[in-house]
Amino acid sequence: MSYNPHIESAIQNGYDFKIGDYFNNGLEIFKKNPGGYLGYVVVFFLISTVTGLIPILGSLIGIVINPPLVVGFAIAAHKQEKSGSEEFGNFFKGFDHIAQLLVANIIMWLIYIVLAIPLVFIVGFSVIMAIATGDVDTILESTSQIASMGLGFLIMFIIFTYVAVSLRWTNYLIVFHKYDAVEAIKTSWKLVNKNWFMHIAFGALAFLAMIGGMIALIIGILFVIPIVAIADYAGFADITGLNKKDDIIDEIGSFKDELV
């Protein structure tokens, strides 16, 4: 990991999180290469669908490949902005960092599992299993039990949301600033919590945009996903000084991670 004065300054002094600017940047970057981003969304959906059809093993494969695939939008946007490169292969450069991404996401999954332990006692193991099955009828049968424990369920939901938002820049720190998994998790926590409510506001707007995309004859979601992903990258780049002239990172994708 290299010392980054922009990140340290953001952690020490805080920062403005300009949501409107980031969404505008996301749209402008998307407009420069719409075919590439739309094509990648389709490829992403196909990969996710195929792996999801594989019993048990599909979930394990998803844990390994989803983080590199998701961060692909940001990598493509970064290369496009830095060098004008619009190669489709840029979307898959996240796999050059798969080791650290895997370690980080396993750690984060373990954090969520630990947090879920009280939820099992609050809501009940049978309800958790009902939700895990994904069966609508079974879940509906459990709603009355969930409602009776509404306050406890709400508290756990707030905790999960707080943690998820706080860790949301972990993968970016690994890919763009070469942090190892543990340091990326810690730094994401510190960075995001300097302006946590603006990050949750960004997430809320992104969610509403997704809903709007689904309402727009479903096909709208194909446009919304990359724009939101690029907007998120734009925010990260701004706060961490990724595209500043004195940024020490000129290229990504050539760094090969090693397991810690």
CA dihedral of residues 46, 50, 53, 56 (deg, nearest 10): -120
Q: What is the pLDDT of residue 4?
A: 84
In a domain, 153, yes or no: yes
State the DSSP code for 71.
T
* Rounded Cα gap, residues 167 and 180, in angstroms: 14
Q: What is the pLDDT of residue 214?
A: 78
In a domain, 248, yes or no: no
On whether the CB atoms of residues 19 and 228 are closer than 8 A, the answer is no
Domain enclosing residue 65, as ranges: 18-240
Question: Which stretch of 103-112, 120-129, 153-162 has the lowest confidence by average pLDDT?
Answer: 120-129
- DSSP-assigned letters across all residues of 237-249: HHHHTTTSTT-S-
Average pLDDT across the chain, whole number: 85
Domain tally, the chain: 1
In a domain, 74, yes or no: yes
Q: Angle at which helices 170-177 and 220-240 pack, to 10 degrees?
A: 60
| More confident: 2 or 48 | 48
Q: What is the pLDDT of residue 117?
A: 80
**Confidence band of 141 (pLDDT split at 50, 70, 90):** low
In a domain, 172, yes or no: yes
137 has pLDDT over 70:
no
Which tens digit of pLDDT belongs to each residue from 34-48?
A: 999 999 999 999 998
Q: What is the pLDDT of residue 162?
A: 96
Which tens digit of pLDDT belongs to each residue from 181-222?
A: 999 999 999 999 999 999 999 999 999 988 888 776 677 888
In a domain, 260, yes or no: no
Q: What is the pLDDT of residue 254?
A: 43
Distance from the first to the final alpha carbon of the chain: 12
Question: Which stretch of 2-6, 28-32, 118-122, 210-214 has the lowest confidence by average pLDDT?
Answer: 118-122
Which tens digit of pLDDT belongs to each residue from 10-33?
A: 999 999 999 999 999 999 999 999
pTM: 0.82
In a domain, 3, yes or no: no
Q: What is the pLDDT of residue 108?
A: 95
In a domain, 255, yes or no: no
255 has pLDDT over 60:
no
In a domain, 259, yes or no: no
